[in-house]
Structure 1
Amino acid sequence: MTENAQQQPPAPDSELPTQYAPAEVEGPLYERWVERGYFEADAKSEKPPYTIVIPPPNVTGSLHLGHAFQHTLMDALTRRKRMQGFESLWLPGMDHAGIATQNVVERELGKEGKSRHDLGREAFVERVWQWKDEYGGKILGQMRRLGDGVDWSRERFTMDEGLSQAVQTIFKRLYDDELIYRAERIINWCPRCLTAISDIEVEYQDDDGELVSMKYGEGDDTIVVATTRAETMLGDTAVAVHPDDERYRHLVGRRIKLPLTDRTIPVVADTHVDPEFGTGAVKVTPAHDPNDFAIGQRHDLESLTVMDERGVITVHGPFEGLDRFEARSAIVAALRADGRIVAEKRPYVHSVGHCSRCKTTVEPRLSMQWWVKVAPLAKAAGDAVRDGRVKIHPQEMEKRYFDWVDNLHDWCISRQLWWGHRIPVWYGPDGEVVCVGPDEEPPSGEGWTQDSDVLDTWFSSGLWPFSTLGWPEQTPDLKKFYTTDVLLTGHDIIFFWVARMMMFGLYAMDGEVPFKTIALTGLVRDQFGKKMSKSSGTAVDPLDWMNAYGSDAVRFTLAKGANPGTDVPIGEDWVQASRNFANKLWNATRFALMNGATIEGDLPPAEQLSATDRWILSRLNETVAEVDALYDDFQFAKLSDALYHFAWDEVFDWYVELSKTTFMAGGEPAEVSKRVLGEVLDVTLKLLHPIVPFVTETLWTTLTGGESVVIADWPKDSGFRDSAAEKEIETLQQVITEVRRFRADQGLQPGQRVPARLTLDGTALAPHEAAIRQLLRLQPEGDTFAATATLPVGGATVALDLSGTIDIAAERKRLAKDLAAAEKEKAQATAKLGNEAFLAKAPDNVVDKIRGRLTKADEDIARIKNQLDGLPEA
């Protein structure tokens, strides 16, 4: 904490403006928090640490609802822990986002009529750094707007000097341990980005294509194969069949003519082939298909690359120079003209891989790349969860994690880009290969060159939990804040990021896990549960909602939808409702301040408290305990709902309303209730603060005169419970609710006063007569009182004189009509439930629905009859 944080601010005003204006409050308030150092963690502190590292957003990114959702939850966790006395560190930063950032800058160059090759590597990288400094990191300012309580003094970037040293260090260690190697393998190639991409960066979607069946060979040597990528036939080096397939046994080992070429290719037997699929024969193109590559390896087949890096055919002949899709059509046409086409199925819907960044169709391609041997690393990552060192929440997500780490293939980590961490390997003039660590000088002299590729972005972000804390140096931060406590992230990047961090963390930190808990969230959807997208017009900029309703409203809406591991629907109406909640908080606190609510002095002992006071304090402590348990289980939706209903329903709608009568009466009971109301608001605002920080800070400092709720103590359950008071107030609520319903049913206006006689003697409600009369707008009986309706409820009797207030005849006619409808509904439901044939065939949910209709009909009949009995004779 900075020196400024120790200074006491001036005493707050005792009054609040009549309306809450988020736009005027949020920005200045956030900057004050930052200036006072509330979010800065102290590595020398003796407090227990609590650490969360932010999933680093791309430097090219801007705040979207997914970010706002996860940031709200991470902020809530760290704010609460800070209030609980932990040295809380929420560490921010950005990812350099290799492909995405390079694409942005290349587009900018394109507007100038230039390419990166016009600049050269060094100048281009400098241009990217300039772009990053000028335009990158837009999201960081938006995080401030959301209220992210991150430690800005520790902000990191994956291309920082320190993080770059970490990357080079772990590359060298993995290389020396023979866990990094260079080999020619099939990779996913993006002809637009001109780089390899990993399996997890390929998005599969169903595309309309064409399945072509064509004849290879001549005469008795004819064999039919099918493909959706006819252009790859130019690189076929075999046809494969299953060794037990009698249809082709005579062809195995023989060579057949490859159409449109002057080559012959062998027929090989391989168990990978499914004899039941298609014709039972498959074309083998080892340089352009991963399965074919494996077959080629087993049978020592030649690998022929037939396209360049842009997907243009390079084989000499009539198709040379054609784009792969143009070549596909041309080759099918040539085969058709040659009588080689047996069948064409069009459209043929099949799954096709696309680059997740530019959406270009991915091309499998044989290429020399750098790889991580993941088997031992992945085993360690799986064991850490199996033996309980790392918990996955919700637990049912463990299966998805294990499905991934238990089946990982070696990871291609090289990318043919200029922006990123360059691979620290040098090649010598005589074939030498030298991997250079961060403290080593690279070889020099004529003929030595560094590898031109850079590392996959996920390689550096996989080091994030410890590289951001100073590793490989044994810094005070690393000692204090590693292992981190919670990784909160979407279930969609278990594969991209979570598994990478687990593998690298365990490897680099000598078996210490990178985090104790992986808390997985769902994805934000629209209010109908559908994916938000710009093309469908359902994408939402959270800043628009913040501008309209305030950041607290957006945060509270997101938290209320955050059930572990499940997707989060959100609509603007819900944000408006959250804004209304913030306004309710504001108005209730303003009422409390105007009526002298205070936190000064200790709470009076229980014997000096009214039942209403004891009830709300009992409910307050139950809420504290419930919220704590739900936080520890990452049940943000449930804890937000619990706080919402406690604050709105119990504090504002009941305790505040019941207290009005006490305040008007004055005296010692009023002073006691003012202290209780102050206590309740103090604790409630603290409980709400981690989720809605801005409005609670404004209200809490005004109410208490404290420096900031950010550094206030988190509420503790005092253990106070009063079941008798809770039962008494529950009965009081029942009486008020039932009479209000009766009034509404009789068509009385809410503010319309009605003469009434209350018979409360012998009940616990006797002390509440003034409150009952005030809340129900009930006048004293008067000399001319004549009861026209009597309501026995909660052990008490409320008699009302409705003469002259309603049209009795019209009301009886309306109720009689409602009674007839309810009795008809009951008869229909009873008949269905008495029909054995229906019960034998109907699904359980249908039968349950009809039983529910019968129950409701019985309740409606009883209610309407009670209303009719309560009406005076016409």
Structure 2
Amino acid sequence: MDIGKRYTPNEIETKWYKVWLDEELFKAKGEGNGKFSVVIPPPNITGKIHMGHALNISLQDIVTRFKRMQGKDTLWLPGEDHAGIATQHVVEKFLMQSEGKRKEDYGREEFIKRVWNWANEYREHIKKQIMAIGASVDWSRERFTLDEGLNKAVRKVFVELYNEGYIYKGKYIVNWCPSCGTVLSDEEVEHKDEKGALYHIKYPIKGEDNYIIIATTRPETMLGDTAIAVHPSDERYKDYVGKVAILPLVGREIPIIADKYVDPSFGTGALKVTPAHDPNDYLLGQRHNLESVQIMDEYAKINENGGKYAGMTREEARKAVVEDLEKEGYLLKIEELEHSVGHCYRCDTVVEPFLLDQWFVKMKPLAEKAIEAVEDGDIKFYPERWKKVYLNWMNEIRDWCISRQLWWGHRIPVWYCEDCGHINVSEEDVHKCEKCGSTNLRQDEDVLDTWFSSALWPFSTLGWPEETEDLKKYYPTDLLMTGFDIIFFWVARMIVMGEKFMGDKPFSDVYIHQLVRDKHGRKMSKSLGNGIDPLEVIEKYGADPMRFALAILAAQGRDIKLDLQIIDSYSKFANKIWNATRFVLLNMDDFEKMELKPEDLTLEDKWMLTRLNKTIKEVTEAIEKYEFNIAARALYDFFWNEYCDWYIEAVKNRLKSEDKKLAQNVLVRVLDSSLRLLHPFMPFLTEELWQNLPKITDEKYLVTAKWPEYNENFVFENEEAEFEKIKAFIRGIRNVKADINIPQITKVEIAYKTLSDNDWIKRNEKTVKELAFVTNIEIVSEKPEKSATSYVDEDVEAYVKLGELIDIEAEKERLNKKLEKLNKEFQKYDKKLNNKNFIERAPEEVIEETKEKFEMVKSQIEKLEKLLRELD
């Protein structure tokens, strides 16, 4: 049997994904030993999948394939998110560039048709990218947040929450994006440190030749000031409270009030209060019954309340206001300041706090059960530290603004009667007012926040509000895997909605995956040009090496520093798996399946089967705990370092003998189990290779084959320990050869003296000779002349006889020169690490790299010095 010399991932991946789909091997069929269900975090339809998506999908697929192989009835449900703000933004931009038209030129209905066309096209793109990564999702159950079923669920939730008093409409200060023309939730605002200024302005006191000084970063908003606030315990302003100030440039009389919110240490300790343009000022205004004067419109331009500044942008108004303040003597000074400024997470426009009528959900009472579920351990976070982050946010939760001023999305199911003013809220479209019977109705123009429909994802995708079989079988789901940045956007809200509408948690485990950074630890971004496209990586290396690299780097709680060289190294690992399988297949002439009995096994067989069983146990436990890096590392070490480097080498001569049947069976069984263990990580490669193995079971596909189980009957602790000694003994011989430039294939003589009755070398002479290229082994009482110590333990001390193999004096000269060079390197690194400036200023990764080099050089010096002593 021969599979060919070359591993060609692109051919294999296309072939096997099609087979898996055609055979419906990913489809949940309601059969199995228990169930495992997970819903894919729906990717936005606005663009390509990035490396963070690739990580998320790869890790979810590892768990899903693992559970499927364990015999679970496994459902991994896919879908996409309509991404209201983002999608409308990109489509509007596209239409403006391609047709020169704004959405208003099309009208709502026609514009939404255009967005649907765009959405359907990009949904297909997203689907192909998910397939390329190898995701074993059940495409027959694919959902979209705007499909008919989910729309029904969204309306039902809105109406029930409204009828129970959880949803209300009212004026509130919101985060407004003047570019996208909609409200943003707090979590959709990205704060960035920017250089700004603190403007110190004099506000005259009415009836006095005196003034109070305020400091502000936004002087243009003073046009809407309705008070000045100071802290009640601030002695500087005690006598000002209760007085009236005159608003510069405007002339409006505003009260001076006391409120504990004011920070006496910021600026001058006196705060201008603009309730319509600052969220904290808004709350302060509510407490003191202050007027709210709105001085900007939806485009962040000054409105008619701004007097002569009307029509200016906020930037133009700032400049004009500052000039006028200076001209009229109100501007005391300007200080440079670096401060945090909120930006729209989609278009990067500076967000404007804005007073608007909006729809809200009262979250405090709804959050109670969602808090309990996590506090009681019903829902577990991995890593556990995210539990505290979740609880802190939930305990301080604010009402959720759910309305968005968009056309694309779930339109709010509210109809206003233009005759009697009644608000009609219904799951079905309303054509007649339920109060007065009028047909003169107007539906609310706004749509719901995208996260409102996403919050229902774990149960709406399973058919709720209908009582479907899928809902009964697969809810609650078992695992949610997502990024830390949407714990509040999505995770928390899913828990709230699951507890409210299903009376149960939406999932048991929440795994917060790592952030994928570049090799220098920087966040990947367009501006830095350091992004890595997973599809390009797949094209170059294949999906399997990329998946394995991401898994082995995915240590809980640590960001991933991704270098393409790492993926290249696991491409070599894939080649190693291919070549090892090819070797096994080429040695399967006359293969005949046999039962393995402990009494028939050789030492290396027992060692190999022990290592296999311990690896099965370690990998199984690691995946169960979502310790993907530990599982991947165990597989890599086992397959390359133990199966390939030791066991295959140890049985090569047995495969050439007439008595090869046992060696063939152990080789195949260990390879079969290895491919099963590797399958969740490298599905395409392993399916291709497993299909070519001699059949030892009647299973048809690896994707649905049985996961290996730990078998204590094939764990031989004593034999494992003895073979590990042999390995160390052989490594010692190889190291001596390497240190003094003797080729590994050069045959040498060794000697050893026994230090106990356990002469395990004598028992394993044949193996040592074959694997270490040794011609003769003799027992001695003293260390021979012209020899180097290669191994020492409690039983033996062994030496490699150098004899005429090398010129001892010439070798000592070579080693001394090498030692001299290493000592210089040692001094260089030692000096750096003792340099205070270097430790304080150098990047962390540079310091770590220097420490590693220092330790490596130190180790090499110790080794050379020991060898030189041996040669003296």
Separation of aligned partners in 2, 1:416 and 1:579:
48
1:239 to 204, 228, 236: 228
Rounded Cα–Cα distance in structure 2 between residues aligned with 1:46 and 1:691: 22
Q: 1:341 to 1:566 in 2, by over 3 A?
A: same
How far residue 684 of structure 1 moved from its aligned partner, in angstroms, is 0.7
Cα gap change, 1:105 to 1:56, in 2 (>3 Å): same
User: 1-side partners of 2:313 and 2:321: how far apart?
Assistant: 12
Equivalent residue number for residue 211 of structure 2: 222
Task: For residue 440 of structure 1, report the CA deviation from its aligned partner.
Answer: 7.2
TM-aligned CA deviation for residue 242 of structure 1: 2.6
Task: Determine the C-alpha separation between the residues in 2 that align with 1:265 and 1:801.
Answer: 99
What residue in structure 1 maps to residue 771 of structure 2? 775
Greater Cα shift, 402-411 or 799-808: 799-808
Aligned to 1:286: 275
Q: Which residue of structure 2 aligns with residue 462 of structure 1?
A: 455
How far has the Cα of 1:255 moved from its partner? Answer: 2.5
TM-fit CA distance, 1:437: 1.8
Q: 1:79: which partner in 2?
A: 65
Q: Which amino acid aligns with 2:190?
A: E
Q: 2:53 aligns with which of 45, 59, 67?
A: 67
Q: CA deviation at 1:752?
A: 3.0
The one-letter amino acid of 1:311's match is A
Q: Contact 2:151–2:410 at 8 Å: present in 1 too?
A: yes
- Equivalent residue letter for 1:147: G
Task: Give the SS at the match of 2:190.
Answer: strand
In structure 2, the CA distance between the partners of 1:643 and 1:857, relative to structure 1 (3 Å rule), is closer
Q: State the distance in 2 between where 1:522 and 1:487 align.
A: 14
What amino acid is the match of 2:384? Q
State the partner residue of 1:345.
335
Distance 2:820 2:174 in 1: 74
Q: Please show how residues 720-869 of structure 1 align to structure 2 within 5 Å.
A: 720-754=714-748, 763-779=759-775, 788-789=786-787, 791=789, 793=791, 795=795, 802-815=802-815, 860=863, 863-865=866-868, 867-868=870-871
Aligned counterpart, 1:28: 15
| 2:840 matched residue in structure 1 | none
**TM superposition shift of 1:316:** 5.2
Cα distance in 1 between the residues matched to 2:72 and 2:237: 72
2:704 and 2:172 map into 1 onto residues whose CA distance is: 55
Match of 1:154 in 2: 141
8 Å Cα contact 1:556-1:692 kept in structure 2: yes
Once the two structures are superposed, the pairs formed by residues 38-53 of structure 1 within 5 Å of their partners are: 38-43=25-30, 45=31, 47-53=33-39
Provide the residue aligned with 1:471 in structure 2.
464
Q: Give the match's secondary structure for 2:172.
A: strand
**How far apart are residue 74 of structure 1 and its match?**
0.4
How much has 1:211 moved relative to structure 2?
0.9
* Cα separation, 1, equivalents of 2:146 and 2:822: 71
Q: Which residue of 2 aligns with 1:621?
A: 613
Q: Is the 8 A contact 1:216 1:225 kept in 2?
A: yes
For residue 220 of structure 1, give the secondary structure of its aligned residue in structure 2.
Answer: coil
Matched with 2:781 is none
> Which of 436, 446, 449 is the aligned partner of 2:426?
436
Q: Is the 8 A contact 1:661 1:770 kept in 2?
A: no
Counterpart CA distance in 2 for 1:255 and 1:675 is 95
Counterparts in 2 of 1:94-109, with a 5 A limit? 94-109=80-95
C-alpha contact (below 8 Å) 2:343/2:351 kept by paired residues: yes
The answer to whether the Cα contact below 8 Å between 2:62 and 2:680 also exists between their aligned partners in 1 is: yes
1:493 and 2:486 aligned:
yes
Instruction: State the 1:230 CA deviation.
Output: 0.8
Q: Distance in 1 between matches of 2:764 and 2:575?
A: 29
Report if the CA contact (8 A) 1:826-1:857 is conserved: no
| Aligned equivalent of 2:658 | 667
Deviation at 1:864, TM superposition (A): 1.4
**Whole-Å separation in 2 of the counterparts to 1:463 and 1:598:** 58
**What do residues 72-99 of structure 1 show as CA deviations (whole Å, max 9, x unaligned)?**
1100101010000101100000000001
Per-residue CA deviations over 1:539-578 (Å, capped at 9, x if unaligned) read 1101111111110010000000111232112110100010
Name which of 530, 550, 555 aligns with 1:558.
550
* 1:105-164 deviation digits (Å, cap 9, x = unpaired): 111221211111111111111111111123344121011111000000000000000000
Distance of aligned partners of 1:585 and 1:792 in 2 relative to their CA distance in 1, 3 Å threshold = closer
Amino acid at match of 1:810: A
Deviates more, 1:69-78 or 1:536-545: 536-545
Kept after mapping to 1: 8 A contact 2:479/2:511: yes
The alpha-carbon deviation at position 299 of structure 1 amounts to 1.8
1:308, distance to aligned residue in structure 2 (A): 0.5
Question: Shift in Å at residue 453 of structure 1?
Answer: 0.4
Query: Does residue 1:524 correspond to 2:516, yes or no?
Result: yes
Please, which of 506, 511, 519 is the counterpart of residue 499 of structure 2? 506
SS class of match (1:488): strand
Q: Are residue 693 (structure 1) and residue 683 (structure 2) matched?
A: yes
CA distance in 2, matches of 1:164, 1:676: 56
Change (3 A) 1:562 1:827: closer
Q: 3-state DSSP class of the match of 2:343?
A: strand
Residue 119 of structure 1 corresponds to which residue in structure 2?
Answer: 106
Question: Is 1:482 the equivalent of 2:469?
Answer: no
Contact 1:603 1:676 in 2 (8 A): no
1:276 and 1:452 map into 2 onto residues whose CA distance is 44
1:209 matched to 2:199? The reply is no
**Which of 275, 298, 303 does residue 292 from structure 2 map onto?**
303
Quick one: structure 1 residues 48 and 853, their matched pair in 2 at CA, closer, same or farther if it must change by over 3 Å? closer
Structure 1 CA distance for aligned equivalents of residues 16 and 824 of structure 2: 61
State whether structure 2 residue 137 is matched by structure 1 residue 134.
Answer: no
The SS at the match of 1:206 is strand
Amino acid at match of 1:399: K
What secondary structure sits across from 1:317 in the alignment? helix
Q: Name the residue aligned to 2:835.
A: none
Given that 2:822 and 2:857 are in contact with CA atoms closer than 8 Å, whether structure 1 keeps it comes out as no
What residue in structure 1 maps to residue 646 of structure 2?
Answer: 654
Which deviates the most, 215-224 or 311-320? 215-224
Match of 2:382 in 1: 393
- Match of 1:128, SS state, is helix
Equivalent position of 2:74 in the other structure: 88
Which structure 2 residue ranges, 5 or more long, are not aligned?
Answer: 779-783, 830-847
Structure 1: gaps of 5 or more residues: 1-13, 830-844, 870-874
Separation (CA, whole Å) in 2 of partners of 1:418 and 1:820: 74
Residues 674 and 46 of structure 1, relative CA distance in 2, 3 Å threshold: closer
Structure-2 change in CA distance of 1:768 and 1:591 (3 Å): farther
In structure 2, C-alpha distance between the alignment counterparts of 1:51 and 1:697, rounded to whole Å: 23
What is residue 184 of structure 1 aligned with on the other side? 171
Shift in Å at residue 592 of structure 1? 0.7
For 1:498, the aligned partner's letter is V
Conserved? CA contact 2:551–2:632, under 8 Å: yes
Structure 1 residue aligned with 2:307, among 304, 317, 324?
317
> 1:101 & 1:529 partners in 2: Cα distance?
30
Match of 1:872 in 2: none
Matched residues in 1 for 2:854 and 2:177: separation?
A: 59
In structure 2, relative to structure 1, the CA distance for the partners of 1:474 and 1:744 (3 Å cut) is same
Aligned length: 832
- Of 372-381 and 450-459, more deviation after overlay is shown by 372-381
Query: Bigger CA drift: 396-405 or 364-373?
Result: 396-405
Q: Partners in 2 of 1:823 and 1:162 — Cα distance?
A: 72
**Deviation of residue 275 (structure 1)?**
3.1
Check conservation: 2:177, 2:344, Cα contact below 8 A: yes
- Following TM superposition, by how much is the alpha carbon of 1:345 offset from its aligned partner in structure 2, in angstroms? 1.0
- Distance in 1 (CA, whole Å) between partners of 2:740 and 2:537 is 41
Shift of 1:389: 1.2
CA distance in 2, matches of 1:698, 1:857: 43
1:170 aligns with 2:157: yes
Query: Greater CA deviation, 16-25 or 806-815?
Result: 806-815
**In structure 2, C-alpha distance between the alignment counterparts of 1:866 and 1:595, rounded to whole Å:** 46
CA displacement at 1:788 relative to structure 2: 4.6
Alignment of structure 1 residues 268-287 onto 2, 5 Å: 268-287=257-276
Deviates more, 1:801-810 or 1:817-826: 817-826
The range that moved more, 362-371 or 602-611, is 602-611
Q: Which moved more, 1:410-419 or 1:59-68?
A: 59-68
TM-score w.r.t. the length of structure 1 is 0.90
Q: Is the partner of 2:693 in helix, strand or coil? A: helix
